[in-house]
């Protein structure tokens, strides 16, 4: 597969976005669009995607009334870069927000002004962008807590007082189930199912119950927002539930395994989407920008990475992408581990750019218990006597240069086939695809932060001062 290098200067792309025409009189009125974004929610951890132990009744109801996408992915498994890719339609190497907590490059255009030009009022409540970056994306309205907990009260006030003659694009973001997870509410830790890559310890089960409780809290907010949308947003309305990436667990967030990049994406659009339907079309978060532009009657600008899947929503197409590229650069000194990957329906290739680095994250390098260090310590303790636990701990921190998975027979990505002689040609092909994609993106493969090399003692990173100290027993 060959990729054509295409770069458009930011000011040219901005001009293209702002020159999008308003809907002509003979075109149907643009639909309202309401998007609910949860924080750190892996796809499989919900009822519509097969979970039998995590309660998400409102997600289940949304899926029963609309279409469930089974192959939806994010551009990158860290909060800030993922949300910037959503707002710009560009992958991190091109929008500038590569590591977590970095703003997009000056002059890179975003989604809200493009929709505003089409007549939309564009509002964001809660955690939609990352931290204070909402101001960089040109939303007409910014409300709620952009970083922490946010409820639907301000949304209700906004909807009651806005000019309803304008089409609305409303984003609502909840912090749930981002850490710190709240108190356990109605879950029995002993009864929960653990992912196969996890070490089964009492602290792990306790935190799993907290995580599940927070998912249900997000689901409750989803029910509230849907009720507000039905009552206050009149006319043709597309409603979407999605998440910025997978949960904060080992092999999830900060990783390019499916538990980190594959997310729930459920859309209900009465009169357009068949109830209780499902689509295996492969879509990615940068695709939302051009999709909304097309649905709003605009022309998708050239030069962006996102591709409109409006045809899938309108029922005129059943497929979209044939492969998904993902990237991760890091999250401060907690996580210095750049990774790239390509995924088809049935296969995934992962390139660990620096296998000489140890893979760590807030879970293993922050003494803040809410980040997961308490249960991570129980994994380290279990590894002292259990070969199975020891292998899981080692696999979390020590990675090979390349990984290859047959997702059809190995959906949990447990068996790396990169060294399998029967997969030599496939490995070569997927390796070349990642090479071409990185070149097309202008990916400099930058290392952000100070890595830990294999064999070095594991030190802790102070979340406040950025100071490190030796972790007792963490290097074992």
312 domain-assigned: yes
Contact status, residue 5 vs residue 439, Cβ threshold 8 Å: yes
Indicate whether 303 and 378 sit together in one domain. no
Between 130 and 309, residue with greater pLDDT: 309
Q: What residues are paired with 405 via a beta bridge?
A: 348
- For residue range 285-338, list pLDDT tens digits in order: 999 989 999 999 999 888 999 999 999 999 999 999 999 999 999 999 999 999
pLDDT for residue 141 is more than 50: yes
Residue 273 main-chain phi, psi, to 5 deg: -105, 135
- For residue range 249-269, list pLDDT tens digits in order: 999 999 999 999 999 999 999
pTM value is: 0.92
**Boundary residue ending a domain (274, 301, 322):** 322
pLDDT for residue 24 is more than 80: no
Closest to 111 in 3D by CA, of 86, 81, 142 = 86
Domain count, the chain: 2
Q: Give the model's pLDDT for residue 28.
A: 79
Q: Which residue has the tokens 């830990």?
A: 452
Q: Which residues of 274-287 are buried (b: 16+ CB within 10 A; e: fewer)?
A: eeeeebebbbbbbb
Q: Which residues of 38-66 are buried (b: 16+ CB within 10 A; e: fewer)?
A: bbbbbbbbbbbbebeebbbebbbbbbebb
pLDDT for residue 231 is more than 80: yes
Indicate whether 162 and 229 sit together in one domain. yes
- Domain of residue 36 covers 10-20+27-322
Indicate whether 346 and 276 sit together in one domain. no
- For residue range 384-429, list pLDDT tens digits in order: 999 999 999 999 999 999 999 999 999 999 999 999 999 999 999 9
- For residue range 202-214, list pLDDT tens digits in order: 999 999 999 999 9
pLDDT for residue 69 is more than 80: yes
Here the CATH number for the domain that contains residue 356 is 3.30.1120.10
178 domain-assigned: yes
pLDDT averaged over every residue in the chain: 92
In 333-411, DSSP assigns E strands to 339-343, 347-352, 402-406
Planar angle of CA 429, 434, 438, nearest 5 degrees: 150
Indicate whether 289 and 152 sit together in one domain. yes
């Amino acid at each position: 597969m060959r990729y054509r290098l295409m770069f458009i200067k930011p000011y040219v792309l901005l001009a293209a976005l702002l020159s999008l025409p308003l809907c002509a009189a003979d075109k149907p009125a643009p639909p309202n669009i309401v998007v609910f974004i949860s924080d750190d929610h892996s796809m499989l951890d919900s009822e519509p995607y097969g979970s039998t132990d995590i309660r998400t009744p409102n997600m289940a109801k949304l899926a029963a009334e609309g279409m469930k996408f089974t192959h939806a992915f994010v551009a990158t498994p860290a909060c800030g870069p993922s949300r910037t890719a959503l707002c710009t339609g560009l992958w991190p190497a091109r929008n500038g927000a590569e590591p977590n907590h970095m703003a997009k490059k000056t002059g890179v255009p975003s989604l809200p002004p493009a929709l505003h030009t089409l007549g939309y009022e564009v509002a964001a409540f809660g955690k939609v962008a990352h931290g204070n970056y909402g101001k960089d994306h040109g939303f007409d309205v910014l409300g709620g807590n952009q970083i922490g907990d946010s409820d639907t009260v301000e949304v209700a006030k906004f909807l009651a007082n806005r000019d309803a003659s304008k089409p609305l694009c409303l984003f609502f973001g909840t912090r749930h189930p981002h850490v710190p997870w709240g108190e356990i509410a109605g879950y029995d830790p002993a009864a929960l199912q653990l992912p196969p890559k996890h070490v089964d310890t009492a602290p792990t089960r306790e935190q799993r119950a907290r995580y599940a409780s927070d998912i249900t809290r997000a689901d409750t907010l989803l029910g509230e927002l849907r009720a507000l949308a039905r009552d206050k947003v009149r006319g043709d309305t597309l409603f979407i539930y999605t998440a910025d990436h997978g949960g904060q667990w080992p092999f999830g967030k900060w990783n390019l395994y499916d538990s980190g990049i594959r997310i729930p994406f459920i859309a209900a659009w009465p009169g357009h989407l068949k109830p209780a339907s499902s689509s295996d079309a492969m879509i990615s978060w940068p695709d939302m920008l051009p999709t909304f532009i097309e649905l709003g009657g605009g022309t998708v600008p050239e030069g962006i990475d996102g591709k409109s899947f409006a045809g899938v929503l309108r029922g005129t197409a059943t497929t979209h992408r044939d492969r998904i590229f993902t990237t991760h650069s890091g999250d401060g000194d907690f996580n210095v581990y750049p990774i790239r990957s390509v995924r088809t329906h049935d296969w995934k290739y992962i390139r660990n750019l620096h296998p000489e680095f140890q893979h760590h994250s807030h879970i293993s390098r922050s003494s803040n218990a809410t980040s997961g260090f308490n249960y991570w310590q129980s994994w380290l303790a279990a590894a002292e006597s259990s070969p199975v636990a020891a292998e899981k701990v080692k696999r979390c921190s020590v990675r090979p240069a390349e990984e290859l998975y047959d997702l059809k027979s190995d959906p949990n990505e447990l068996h790396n086939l990169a060294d399998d002689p029967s997969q030599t040609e496939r490995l070569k092909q997927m390796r070349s695809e990642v090479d071409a994609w990185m070149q097309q993106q202008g990916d400099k493969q930058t290392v952000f932060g100070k890595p830990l090399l294999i064999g070095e003692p594991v030190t802790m990173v102070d979340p406040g001062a950025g100071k490190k100290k030796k972790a007792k027993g963490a290097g074992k």
